[in-house]
């Protein structure tokens, strides 16, 4: 669930970057992608601070040795993805 939530937000952020003609680096770091949007003057959603919670689900768990982590709140993850999707849809259309 954490991996899929992270991937969803990553693709949404990259879609917004691409729709604005902003070249983005190959990264799974959601905070870096959001910073790139902010630097380009794109107004970020209110929940943007929470996306950093999802980055480890793609980065550390995919490429590094398994870490100890707290269980993911599935309902909160779904709500976050939905909020980011609404924001991205408003921009990309």
pLDDT at 16 over 60: yes
Q: Per-residue b/e over 5-33, b at no fewer than 16 CB within 10 Å?
A: bbebbbebbbebbeeeebeeeeebebeeb
Enumerate the domain spans of the chain.
2-92
When pLDDT is cut at 50, 70 and 90, the band that residue 14 belongs to is very high
pLDDT at residue number 20: 95
pLDDT digits 0-9 by tens, 59-92: 655 555 555 666 788 999 999 999 999 999 999 9
pLDDT at residue number 60: 59
When pLDDT is cut at 50, 70 and 90, the band that residue 8 belongs to is very high
């Amino acid at each position: 669930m954490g991996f899929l939530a992270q991937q969803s937000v990553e693709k949404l952020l990259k879609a917004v970057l691409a729709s604005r003609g902003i070249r983005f680096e190959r990264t799974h770091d959601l905070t870096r992608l959001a910073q790139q949007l902010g630097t380009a003057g794109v107004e970020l959603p209110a929940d943007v601070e929470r996306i950093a919670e999802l980055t480890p689900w793609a980065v550390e768990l995919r490429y590094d040795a398994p870490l100890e982590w707290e269980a993911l709140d599935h309902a909160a993850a779904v709500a976050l993805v939905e909020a980011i999707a609404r924001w991205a849809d408003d921009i990309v259309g």
